[in-house]
Amino acid sequence: MRAGTKQPYKSVRKGNKMIFSTITQNNLNLAADTTEIPAQYSNNIQFKFIQDNERFSGYIPTIYIGVYDSAMIECGDVISAGGAVVVDGDGVFAISNEIMYRNGFLAVGVTLTNNDENVSLKPVIYRIQASVGGLSPLPPDEGEWQQVVKAFVETLFNNWSAENLDPIKAQLEELISTAQTQQEKITSQQTQIDNAIGNMGDYEIVQEDPVQIRFKKGDGTFGETVDLGDGLASKAMVNAGYYTYKDISYGGSASNNGIDVAEIDGAYSQVTTNGFQLFDASKLPTKSQGGATVTNNDDGSFTISGSGNLTSDCVFSYTYSHEETLRLIKSGQINFKNEMTTKPNFAVQLFYENNGKMVLLSNATNPTDSATITQAMLDDSTSSLRISFSGTTGQTIKAGTIKPILYQDGDGTFEPFTGGIASPNPEYPQEPKFVGDYNEGTQKYDIDFMTSGKNLFNINGNVNVDGYSKEQKTTNTVENGVLTCNVNSATAHGVGQRLYGLKGKTISVSAKLKSLGEATLGNMYIYESSGTYKVVSNTTALDTVFAINNYTCQTDDIVVAFASGNGTGVQFYDIMVNYGAKFVDYEPFTGFETTTVQLNQPLRELPNGVKDTIENGVGTRRVGCVDLGDFDYTDYSNYNGYYTTVGNLKSDNYGEAICTHFKVIKSHGEMGIRIGAGNSNIYIEQVSSVYPTASEFKSAMSGVKLFYELATPTTEQITLPTLPSWYPYTDAWVGTELQPSFVEWHIKIAGVNQNDLTVIKEDISQLQTETTQLNDDVTKLMGAFTSVTDLTKQLFLLMHRVGDIIFSTSDENPSTIYGGTWVAWGKGQVPVGVDTSDSDFNTVEKTGGEKEHTLTVDEMPSHKHDFGQQFATTSNLSGSYGYYMIAGTQTDVIKNTGGNQPHNNLQPYITCYMWKRTA
């Protein structure tokens, strides 16, 4: 929630390590370069820790991890959860993929150890998206996991053959139709509610089925009847207008849709005094003696503690010199006021005549006292003032807290000591407070908005903080909302949960006992930032509420703790911490978050109501600030002072301003600072006796701040947050150093804040349940059958490397479905396997062969043609016909036959598309 924009997820490869995220230490802070772990299918989620060796050289880091439902996690939560992981020499550590089992938050905490010193750093938080691939780890060998992936994909596609796909597609279409109808209903109902908000205010239900309501207008009359139909929108509540809260908190009805911070106004507070307080409490430090302790609370008050009788004298004091005494008091009546009597008692004494006589004011028997001081007493050179606490051996200690005031002017209203003169003054400056607390780490001003459900106690959070020491324990266990406490109050302090940001808030704590275990009663405590418990409640009754009511937190660090009385094993349940003077009916913990706005300067205000504001994304600065040491000065002899010119100062004679070291004056004659009229000057009067020259005055003014009204306001773009909220009730408050009465902020709540529209909530709850289930069904089906998921695409490409061939009866290029680059391959050709022993097939993608072929003579099979013919082989001239053999040439031939055409060279075939992956 602090300033800084988180970068989107990316991983960095270093050697054989894939670094998912780097966590960098800066002093006591940790920062991560990303905030989200997306869905993974890996068993090697690696992180790197970069240690701050400038400040923590030699410290040994231990990394702790934990997975939680909420992002509100402290380092102690992570350490107590165990989960330490091994860090290598480069600061790299790996986390099991079991963290991807479900959605949630991963907390990574670091403890640095150097001998006996342990330093725990606030954890960094990552949001986890559950793995879509399950948690089975992939084999480390690349060849093995490729086979796993291939088998996974083949199984995926085989399981969803066409005969299975068709009926599911039909179901999907029906669900989509239902979803569209549902969405139209939601949209219509949301419009009806939005229309009703124009008359926002108190309301009455005109009829319940269908719901009709009408809202009360500003003049007290009711507006027109609004028909809300049979159901309502998916939001439990709707925009309900602006609300102003000058108190620190808002509590009321809300949805899960957030609370918009519409406007923040500047404010201020500054301690000013009249100089009437004559008692300087800093002169008496904390001291223990004789069994009593007098604690200086650093706010002008003292707490006397102890019991029984003083075992020795308890006396400590401070004595002023005669000159100091004369500067502090004057002749006349002197008054003394405390809240109560105490022992040791507080006393003021004026000694004179060499300590032979004195004037005594004491709260030993009366909280108030008075006496008369004469001028003769003061003129005695031996006179001196003494302040003290005293008690003698054997006196009974009387504990209590007092806030003394010693005064000679005024009505005795307490104010801090400022040297007996009005403040602010150069010796006792008063730094004003504005809206925004300075953050040393970011050097910006933080405005923290905190929101929670009605119950502040997270039973599933860290319930093992020692209330007294704030150390982490292991004595409490939680199961099914029941806390079993193994702390024995006879031997140990209570142990429970630490709560922050509650200073000034009134809370009540309640619980029930399920079992006494081996103990005789159950104890419930509230501890503050240090020391023993502040209040306790206990009971022996089972299944009955017992409570601590109406407790106002004094600090921002309290512990709600538990202990078993006279044994162990007491079981507590329905534990509830709520705002208010009385406990309320138990509600489960829903959430607690802090949202921070960071500003370059705080939001200021002047006593006349001129203030800085942030509204509608625009910050308007109307109050300027300058350091008076940055200016040169001119003598202002008329009033024993100096003046200078300040740019962009709104000229207003005796105008309003705030100064850290001077009173802002409206007339001449006293020390102070004044705004000029019509000349943009400021005048500091009645100071030349202290600072004789302008150069001395300039030097003394370094660090003196003046806050004034700007003649021309400046603007800047500032985005206000939407605060997390929880249905049906959310508390929201601002955490600043200003007191609640000074804080003014305007919010726009997502909800009807005055009444509980039960009929609305029930109808919405049902509609939300139906819609959620419908969305889940549609999402699953759409993911499985309508589109190829990113995971499937990745696995497909992993299974089909560059150069692979796929067969398909579809003419759609695979790149449109799975990605990669694919080209049509082997058009009109038949693939043949490579045979390195055959010169025709010995290389890949070698082509050859013919679709048709005409045979040559050499290619013809060997054959013959028979025909009949007679030849003479001898001569014979006798008979009627004689013959003889002669040599000659035979010209008879066999006639040609056949068409001399090419023949079909194809085997039986079936066509398909073949695609080759090229990239």
Residue 20: per-residue pLDDT: 77
Rounded average pLDDT over 697-719: 94
Worst-scoring range by mean pLDDT, 18-22, 428-432, 663-667? Answer: 18-22
Say if CB 778 and CB 179 are below 8 A apart: yes
Peptide bond into 137 cis (omega under 30): no
Amino acid sitting at position 554: Q
In 3D space, the residue among 561, 531, 550 whose CA is nearest the CA of residue 303 turns out to be 531
For residue 755, what pLDDT band results from cuts at 50, 70 and 90?
very low
pLDDT reading at 69 higher than 90 = no
Residue 231: per-residue pLDDT: 39
Report the chain's mean pLDDT, rounded to a whole number: 80
454-589 shares the fold of 281-407: yes
Amino acid sitting at position 360: L
Residue 220: per-residue pLDDT: 58
pLDDT reading at 538 higher than 60 = yes
Peptide bond into 728 cis (omega under 30): yes
φ, ψ dihedrals at 777, nearest 5°:
-60, -45
Worst-scoring range by mean pLDDT, 189-198, 261-270, 401-410, 813-822? Answer: 189-198
Q: Give dist(CA 241, CA 554) in Å, integer.
A: 34
CA distances for 311 relative to 271, 288, 291, 294, 397, angstroms: 41, 12, 6, 15, 10
Q: Give dist(CA 621, CA 600) in Å, integer.
A: 12
User: Can you give the C-alpha Rg of the chain in angstroms?
Assistant: 45
pLDDT reading at 82 higher than 80 = no
The more confidently predicted of residues 230 and 100 is 100
Residue 847: per-residue pLDDT: 86
In the numeric block, which tokens belong to residue 642? 């100096």
Residues 277-321: tens digit of each pLDDT: 999 999 999 999 999 999 999 999 999 999 999 999 999 999 999
Worst-scoring range by mean pLDDT, 33-42, 111-120, 746-755? Answer: 746-755
Q: How many CB atoms lie within 10 A of CB 589?
A: 21
Residue 808: per-residue pLDDT: 86
Rounded average pLDDT over 258-268: 83
Rounded average pLDDT over 28-50: 76
Rounded average pLDDT over 866-877: 64
The more confidently predicted of residues 563 and 201 is 563
β-strands 36-37, 117-128 pairing: parallel
Residue 287: per-residue pLDDT: 94
Residue 657: per-residue pLDDT: 94
Please, which residues have CB within 8 angstroms of residue 140's CB and are 6 or more apart in sequence?
A: none
What CATH fold (topology level) applies to the domain 454-589? Jelly Rolls (2.60.120)
pTM: 0.53
Sheet order of strands, 226-229 included: 203-208, 211-215, 226-229
In 3D space, the residue among 196, 337, 362 whose CA is nearest the CA of residue 277 turns out to be 337
Second-level CATH architecture of 12-137 = Sandwich (2.60)
For residue 890, what pLDDT band results from cuts at 50, 70 and 90?
low
Q: Where are the domains of the chain?
A: 12-137, 281-407, 454-589, 618-717, 801-919
In the numeric block, which tokens belong to residue 240? 């309900």
Q: How many CB atoms lie within 10 A of CB 811?
A: 8
Q: Give dist(CA 297, CA 504) in Å, integer.
A: 17
In the numeric block, which tokens belong to residue 710? 């700007």
Q: Give dist(CA 449, CA 732) in Å, integer.
A: 7
The more confidently predicted of residues 503 and 201 is 503
Residue 191: per-residue pLDDT: 55
Residue 184: per-residue pLDDT: 64
Residues 579-610: tens digit of each pLDDT: 888 988 999 998 888 888 899 999 999 999 99
Quote the percentage of the chain above a pLDDT of 70.
72
Residues 375-432: tens digit of each pLDDT: 999 999 999 999 999 999 999 999 999 999 999 999 999 999 999 989 999 999 999 9
φ, ψ dihedrals at 248, nearest 5°:
-80, -10
Task: Indicate the angle between helix axes 142-159 and 790-799, nearest 10 degrees.
Answer: 120
CA distances for 172 relative to 80, 177, 570, 773, 785, angstroms: 47, 9, 53, 14, 9
CATH class of 281-407: mainly beta
Residue 579: per-residue pLDDT: 87
Say if CB 584 and CB 453 are below 8 A apart: no
CA distances for 912 relative to 93, 673, 805, 915, angstroms: 51, 95, 12, 10
Worst-scoring range by mean pLDDT, 72-86, 315-329, 362-376, 824-838? Answer: 72-86
Sheet order of strands, 368-373 included: 368-373, 332-337, 405-407
